[in-house]
Structure 1
C-alpha cells in the first residue's frame, strides 16, 4: 500500500486546479479574440471604402498583436474582390516607415484599410499622431479600450455585461471617406468623440 503524504497531495490538487483555471482563462481569451477577429472581417460587409489601386485588402495590427495565429485564417478570405492581407507593426515607427501608412508604393498605392490599434498603444494614442500628417481618413481605425472611440478612433470594442460590444465615433466617421451601414450603427453604442479632422 502506497502512502501519499498530505502536503504532496495538496500540492498536486492545487496544481491541477490552478492549471485548469489557466486553461479556462486562456480559452476565454481565445474566444474574445476570435470574436474580435470575426468583427474585423465582418466590418468589410458593413463599411464601404473609396476605390483605390491596392491589389489586396489590407488589415493592419499596430502594437502588441493580441490575436496571434487566431486571426491568420482571415488571409484565406477576400473583401471587395481582393484577397485580405495581414500586416503587423510592433510600434509607430515601423508603421510610419511602411508603404501602408500612406506613402506611395512603387507599383500601387497601398494603405491599411482597417487599422487595429492594440491596447498597448491606444491608452496614449492620438489618431492624428498615428498618421502623422498622412491621409488617414480612408482607414477604419479600431481599438479595444473603453475610451478609444471617444479619443478619435472610429470603432472601439468594449465589454458590456460580459459581452463584446461596439462603440462608434460618429464625428470621426463624419470626417472620413468611409460609409458605414445603418445596420452596423443599429447594433452599436454611438458616441460623440473627437473627430479626425
Structure 2
C-alpha cells in the first residue's frame, strides 16, 4: 500500500508521468488507493490525507484578493494536527499548484487566519471542539478552504470533510460553506466526492 500511495503522490498510478495524468484520473487513482482502517496504520492514513490536502489546491479557485501578490505561495495551515505536519511537508516539498509554491504552517489559534499570513487551506483538527469552532469562526467569510476529518466539525462549517466509507478514506463537500468562503470548487472534484451537500441556491 505504501508503494501505491508513493506512486500516486510522486508520479501517478502505474508510474505515469504527472503531465500525462489528468486531475480527474489522479482523483480516481487516489480514491482507489484509499486505505482500509482495519488494516492500515495511522501513518499511512496521514499520508493519504496529506496527498489530498495537496491536490485539493488544484481544484479550487480563490478570489484574487486571497493572494497578496501574483507570486504569493499557497499556504496550507494545520490546526491541532501536528501529526500531519511531517507527511504534508514531505508531500508538498518541491511542488507547486497552479504555479504557486506550497507552504505548510501551524495554526495555533483563531486569530492566526488573518493578515498576510492567512492560510488558503486550513485543516481543522477535532481534538478540542471549542478550539475547532473558534478556528472555523475565524475563517468564516474569508477565502479559506477549511478541511476537517470529523463529521461533528464538518457540521460546524468546514468546506471539506474526510470520512471513512466502504473501508476507504473519502471526502464530502459542503457547497454552502464554499459559497460563504467565496470559493469555487471544480466540478471534477465534486464528481469524485463521496457526498456533496447543497449550497444556498439549491
Unmatched runs of 5 consecutive residues or more in structure 2? 1-36
Aligned to 2:84: 67
Residue 75 of structure 2 is aligned to residue 58 of structure 1: yes
Unmatched runs of 5 consecutive residues or more in structure 1? 1-23, 104-108
Displacement after TM superposition at 1:50 (Å):
1.5
TM norm structure 2: 0.68
Displacement after TM superposition at 1:36 (Å):
0.5
Pick one of 20, 37, 44 that aligns with 2:50. Answer: 37
Pick one of 146, 171, 185 that aligns with 2:176. Answer: 171
Aligned to 2:59: 46
Pick one of 116, 122, 128 that aligns with 2:123. Answer: 116
Q: Measured at CA, do residues 48 and 111 of structure 1 come closer, stay the same or move farther in structure 2, by a change above 3 Å?
A: same
User: Does the CA-based 8 Å contact 1:149-1:168 persist in structure 2?
Assistant: no
* Secondary structure in structure 2 of the residue aligned to 1:44: helix
RMSD: 2.7
Displacement after TM superposition at 1:133 (Å):
5.7
- Alpha-carbon distance in 2 for matches of 1:146, 1:72: 25
User: Does the CA-based 8 Å contact 1:60-1:114 persist in structure 2?
Assistant: yes
Cα distance per residue 1:44-99 (max 9 Å; x no partner): 1111111221521100001131214211121321123221111013x32xx52x4x
State which structure, 1 or 2, has the greater radius of gyration over its C-alpha atoms: 1
Q: Which has the higher contact order (CA 8 A, sep 6+)?
A: 2
Query: Where do 1:152-191 residues align within 5 Å?
Result: 152-188=157-193, 189-191=195-197
User: Does the CA-based 8 Å contact 1:156-1:168 persist in structure 2?
Assistant: yes
